[in-house]
Amino acid sequence: MPKNENGEIKCVNHPEQTMNRFDGEAAFIRAELADNGNYDLNEEKLITVYVHCCPICGYIESYLVPSIESTSLIQ
């Protein structure tokens, strides 16, 4: 859910509930399908995100951290 007019991130399931932000940042690492059918993690291709969670239902949203490192690796 996008931020509301007050800049708050609300839960899609509980629109009155402000979502909590986890301390720090998280990362999504690119998984590439290998010839053997398994996935290899490519740690050189990642994006960093802020993670928000609803304390009522556990719904999670992530938002891209605006940095050169994150945005240059999205491909």
pLDDT in tens, the chain (75 residues): 678 889 899 999 999 999 999 998 998 999 999 999 999 998 888 888 999 999 999 999 998 888 755 455 555
Stated pTM of the model = 0.70
Residues 6+ apart with CB under 8 A from 11: 1, 17, 18, 19, 54, 56, 57, 59
Asked whether the beta carbons of 35 and 57 are under 8 A apart, the reply is no
The two tokens of residue 3 are: 């931020």
54 token code pair: 């609803």
